[in-house]
Amino acid sequence: MFSKKIILLSSTLALIPLLGGCGPNLSPNTYSGNDVGVASRVIKGTIIAMRPIKIEQNSGVGAVGGAVAGAAGASLLGTNPAASIAAGAGGAVVGALIGNAAEKGMRRDVGYEYIIQLNNNSTISVTQQQDLQLALNQHVLVIYGSTTRIVPDNTVTMPAPAATTKP
């Protein structure tokens, strides 16, 4: 009986780091299947300011996993049912705190906050991961959708059609 509890506890603890990958991908280069085939509004602009930021993603999975693991592990310490329940409750609290801290450590990214002067003279702020090399005064496209993205403006300005004269 005791060995089954240890196996269960070990399995739960081993799965906690894997649950940290369940959050959203914040890259401007990654699209979900729901974004494919959906038209998005695009506005041209220029980056007028930028600053580095830290992006912390906290889904709560680490806290929940830590609470389960802490409760299961601590409940093994009790010598009678009342002691097991008390130890399990305390272990759940401690496990949740440790799991939450572990998730924050694993789920931290570097990004930038961009201040963009749009061509319609409005100004917006957009944050995104540091996947693209964007620079101050760079012309960009702001792509609105389920996730707003900033990408380099690689569009080509087409010359106006030449006027034709009839002979």
Give me the pLDDT at residue 146, please: 82
Q: How many domains does the chain have?
A: 2
CB atoms within 10 A of CB 153: 15
Query: Is 160 within a domain?
Result: no
Which of 71, 91, 106 delimits the end of a domain?
Answer: 106
In three-state secondary structure terms, 129 is strand
Q: Say whether both 11 and 76 belong to one domain.
A: yes
Query: Is 166 within a domain?
Result: no
Q: Say whether both 87 and 10 belong to one domain.
A: yes
CATH of residue 131's domain is: 2.40.50.100
Give me the pLDDT at residue 33, please: 77
Give me the pLDDT at residue 114, please: 95
Q: Say whether both 23 and 64 belong to one domain.
A: yes
Give me the pLDDT at residue 20, please: 47
Bridge partner list, 116: 47, 124
Tens digits of residue pLDDT in 85-128: 666 666 666 666 666 555 555 556 789 999 999 999 999 999 99
Query: Is 163 within a domain?
Result: no
Q: Say whether both 65 and 100 belong to one domain.
A: yes
Q: What type of residue sits at position 37?
A: G
Residues in the chain predicted with pLDDT less than 70, given as ranges, are 1-27, 29, 32, 35, 57-108, 163-167
Q: Say whether both 8 and 44 belong to one domain.
A: no
CB atoms within 10 A of CB 75: 21
Q: Quick one: tokens of 31?
A: 């699209």
Q: Say whether both 44 and 18 belong to one domain.
A: no
Q: What type of residue sits at position 137?
A: N
Domain that holds residue 122: 31-56+110-155
Give me the pLDDT at residue 159, please: 74
Q: Say whether both 102 and 38 belong to one domain.
A: no
Query: How many helices and strands (H and E) does the chain possess?
Result: 3, 5
Give me the pLDDT at residue 52, please: 93
Query: Is 143 within a domain?
Result: yes
Is pTM, for the whole model, over 0.75?
no
Q: Say whether both 72 and 127 belong to one domain.
A: no
Give me the pLDDT at residue 101, please: 57
Q: What is the widest separation between alpha-carbon atoms in the chain?
A: 105
